[in-house]
């Protein structure tokens, strides 16, 4: 492998880097604001937290539910999906999708 | 106690079929439990070769596997409840069986793991295959005997602690009294008795009357290892509150508030996010606690609230990458941290399958990598170095070539020995210190 190193910098780049070192966070903040000018000035507000608290919220639509059920009738019972995708009519869980609670499982023997 | 830089390549490398979400040794270190995104718990048991020799090598092999949690859908709240195991905590062993608590976002379960190595034989009314005999053919009475059988490990759910959390559970912690435990979600902490599933006491509630005023959430909580009345909880704003349950039934008012003052001129958009504490752990001796925020690990003396006594930079070079890390959500990754058995070394994970160890006494730190390619047999793990900028030396890795999808969020340290468990996305590495 060659010993040539990447990242040798010109004097200008060096100065820029030094400025960043003085306040790397502020430089990153400026970058973010440049990319997203409409971003809220302060992160951590209640909007963000409330979104976090609502993780997993899926809205039940009886029309979607019934359509999904109708589709199920024509197919074999599917095994529980391994990946959760965005909610569409196809993915509203139906009672068949949710596995029954299993009784206690007798596990494998100790490796001999 | 030297920092274990002489870690050998994994004595065990276990591939878990789903993303590992928690790793925990039991109190003796003989058992190691992992939980995964699919709601499964896999327990490994230590097998020691050459037990009588100082240079013992231990392997951890699969001991028990069971489905702890299933996905659920709360129709009333339109909420999908993931089966991912957020935390596992072992109970201290009281009898032949082992007990652990495992939790997903909403429900905590107490599991009993027991061994069966005998079975009864010689029933009067049943054949060996289980079919019932014709009673008319039975002419004599005999006493069934227990005969040896191949060891079988059974896991059974003994308690289900449900319906006590509106928000997502992030922590569980068993009290030193061995009777109670706490569970914490984003806004509340509840106290349970291990025997009682239909009642739970709320001991912390930070939900504001008006949700528009919400400014911080609970990120982790833990009981003190010896003082059964004391627990701490950390917040998304970088504070830790220590509470004393003797002071009042509802511990909304803290006994101590640990917070490091911040220079307001340094404040940026990212300041609060990177100050959010992702893990809090008491030291084994109960005198200190460690917190992990996005870029550092801090050690706090419980007697000093205004600043940590030690701060260790995990990956300071990421400070100039915060914009990208915010865009790809990595800035919200929740890294855990752990102490070694005698509290002299602390460990935490990073990106690129790197993990870091800080020797508090010797003031040394090391970066190691958990990967198959870099683990050669008969060779100790080679320390890694990240080049933050400027001239990159040979063998250094530049920040831009770090793989941010390879994150080590969960690590655990054996309670007594220098054996560590490091979880990459779906591999569990167990490293052991080489004894010279």
Average pLDDT over residues A23-36: 88
What pLDDT, on the 0 to 100 scale, is given for residue B382?
Answer: 84
Cβ distance B154 to A8 less than 8 Å, yes or no, reads no
pLDDT at B70 over 50: yes
pLDDT, tens digit, 9 for 90 and up, residues A84-107: 444 455 556 666 666 555 444 444
Cβ neighbours around A37 below 10 Å, total: 7
Asked if A102 reaches chain B (Cβ–Cβ under 8 Å), the answer is: yes
Check pLDDT > 60 for residue A17.
no
From chain A, pick out residues whose CB is under 8 angstroms from the CB of B157: 104
pLDDT at B6 over 70: no
Read off the pLDDT of residues B323-339 as tens digits, 9 standing for 90 and up. 999 999 999 999 999 99
Residue pointed to by tokens 């404040």 = B267
A30, A42, A46, A68: best to mutate for the B interface, most B CBs within 10 A: A46
If one counts every other C-beta atom within 10 angstroms of the C-beta of residue B165, the result is: 23
Q: pLDDT tier at A4 (50, 70, 90 boundaries)?
A: very low
Nearest CA in chain A to B320: A24
Does the pLDDT of residue B282 top 90, yes or no?
A: yes
Among all residues of chain A, which has the CA nearest to that of B156?
A104
Give the model's pLDDT for residue A3.
41
Give contacts of A 65-94 with B, CB under 8 A: 80, 82, 84, 93
Nearest-CA distance from A18 to chain B in Å?
11
The answer for residues whose C-beta is within 8 angstroms of residue A103's C-beta and 6 or more apart is none
A24 φ, ψ (degrees, to nearest 5): -65, -35
Q: How far apart are CA A108 and CA B345, in angstroms?
A: 36
Lowest-pLDDT range, B38-52, B173-187, B188-202, B225-239?
B38-52
pLDDT of residue B27: 97
Q: What is the pLDDT of residue A66?
A: 77
Shortest alpha-carbon distance between residue A74 and chain B (Å): 23
**Average pLDDT of the residues in B188-216:** 95
- Which of B41, B326, B385 to probe by mutation at the A interface, max A CB count within 10 Å? B326
Is the pLDDT reported for residue B350 higher than 90? yes
Q: How confident is the model at residue B51 (pLDDT cuts 50, 70, 90)?
A: low
Look at A8-17, B97-106, B201-210 and tell me which has the smallest mean pLDDT.
A8-17
Nearest chain B residue to A15 by CA distance is B390
Whole-number Cα distances in Å, A106 to B105, B155, B185, B221, B335: 25, 6, 31, 33, 33
Handedness of CA A61, A54, B81, B193 (dihedral sign): negative
Indicate the helix (H) or strand (E) that contains A26.
Answer: helix A24-35
- Sorted by sequence, the CB contacts under 8 Å of residue B192 that are 6+ apart come out as B108, B161, B164, B180, B181, B182, B183, B200, B201
Query: For residues B382 and B320, which has the higher predicted lDDT (pLDDT)?
Result: B320
Q: Tens of pLDDT along B146-179?
A: 999 999 999 999 999 999 999 999 999 999 999 9
pLDDT at A93: 64
Cα(B37)–Cα(B403) distance, rounded to whole angstroms?
21
pLDDT score, position A1: 44
Mean pLDDT score, B381-395 = 83
Phi then psi for A35, rounded to 5 degrees?
-80, -35
The label of the residue with tokens 């995990």 reads: B314
Q: Is the model's pLDDT at B15 over the cut of 70?
A: no
pLDDT for the residue A47: 72
What is the predicted pLDDT for the residue at A83? 44
What mean pLDDT is reported for chain B?
Answer: 91
Better-predicted residue by pLDDT, B48 or A76: B48
At residue B110 the predicted structure's pLDDT band, cuts being 50, 70 and 90, is very high
A1 reaches B (C-beta below 8 A): yes
Q: Per-residue pLDDT for B185 more than 50?
A: yes
Predicted confidence (pLDDT) at residue A69 exceeds the cutoff of 80: no
Please give the average per-residue pLDDT across B112-129, as a whole number: 91
Half-sphere exposure of B137 (CA within 13 A, CB side): 7
Give SS3 for B222. strand
Q: Inspect the interface and report whether the beta carbons of B321 and A107 lie closer than 8 Å.
A: no
Within an 8 Å CB–CB cutoff, is residue A7 touching chain B? yes
Domain borders along chain A are 12-72
ipTM > 0.85 for the complex: no
Span B4-25, average pLDDT: 69
Residue A52, chain B, CB below 8 Å: the answer is yes
Residue B211 with chain A: CB contacts under 8 Å:
46, 50
């Amino acid at each position: 492998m060659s010993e040539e190193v990447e990242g040798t910098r010109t004097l200008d780049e060096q100065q820029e880097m030094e400025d960043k070192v003085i306040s790397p966070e502020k430089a990153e903040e400026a970058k973010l604001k440049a990319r997203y000018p409409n971003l809220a000035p302060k992160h951590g507000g209640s909007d963000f937290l409330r979104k976090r608290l609502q993780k997993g919220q899926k809205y039940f639509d009886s029309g979607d539910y019934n359509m999904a059920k109708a589709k199920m009738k024509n197919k074999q019972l599917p095994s529980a999906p391994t990946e959760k995708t965005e909610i569409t009519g196809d993915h509203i869980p139906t009672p068949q999708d949710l596995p029954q609670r299993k009784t206690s499982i007798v596990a494998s023997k100790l490796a001999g | 106690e030297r920092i274990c830089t002489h870690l050998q390549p994994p004595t065990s490398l276990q591939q878990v079929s789903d993303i590992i979400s928690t790793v925990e040794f039991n109190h003796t270190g003989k058992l190691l439990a992992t939980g995964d995104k699919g709601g499964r718990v896999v327990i490994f048991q230590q097998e020691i070769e050459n037990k009588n020799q100082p240079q013992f090598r231990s392997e951890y092999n699969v001991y028990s596997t069971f489905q702890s949690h299933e996905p659920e859908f709360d129709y009333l709240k339109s909420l999908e409840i993931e089966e991912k195991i957020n935390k596992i905590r072992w109970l201290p062993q009281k009898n032949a069986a082992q007990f652990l608590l495992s939790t997903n976002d909403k429900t905590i379960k107490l599991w009993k793991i027991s061994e069966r190595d005998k079975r009864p034989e010689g029933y009067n009314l049943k054949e060996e295959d289980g079919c019932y005999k014709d009673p008319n053919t039975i002419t004599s009475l005999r006493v069934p005997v227990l005969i040896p059988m191949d060891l079988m490990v059974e896991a059974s759910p003994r308690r289900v602690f449900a319906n006590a959390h509106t928000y997502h559970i992030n922590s569980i912690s068993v009290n030193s009294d061995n009777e109670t435990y706490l569970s914490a979600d984003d806004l509340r902490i509840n106290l349970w008795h291990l025997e009682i599933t239909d009642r739970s006491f709320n001991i912390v509630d930070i939900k504001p009357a008006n949700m528009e005023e919400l400014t911080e959430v609970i990120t982790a909580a833990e009981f003190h290892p010896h003082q059964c009345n004391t627990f701490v909880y950390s917040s998304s704003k970088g504070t830790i509150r220590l509470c004393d349950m003797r002071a009042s039934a509802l511990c909304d008012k803290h006994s101590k508030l640990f917070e490091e003052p911040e220079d307001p001129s340094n404040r940026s958009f990212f300041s609060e996010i990177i100050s959010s504490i992702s893990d809090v752990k008491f030291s084994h001796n109960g005198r200190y606690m460690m917190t992990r925020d996005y870029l550092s690990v801090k050690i706090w003396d419980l007697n000093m609230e205004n600043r940590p006594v030690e701060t260790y930079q995990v990956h300071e070079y990421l400070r100039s990458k915060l914009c990208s890390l915010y865009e790809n959500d990595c800035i919200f990754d929740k890294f855990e941290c752990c102490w070694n058995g005698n509290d002299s070394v602390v460990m935490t994970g990073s990106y690129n399958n790197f993990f870091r160890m800080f020797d508090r006494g010797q003031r040394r730190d090391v970066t190691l990598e958990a990967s198959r390619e870099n683990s050669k047999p008969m060779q100790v793990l080679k320390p890694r170095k990240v080049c933050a900028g400027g001239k990159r030396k040979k063998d250094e890795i530049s920040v831009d070539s770090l793989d941010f999808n390879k994150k080590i969020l969960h690590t655990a340290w054996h309670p007594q020995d220098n054996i560590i468990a490091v979880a990459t996305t779906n591999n569990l590495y167990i490293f052991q210190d080489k004894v010279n």
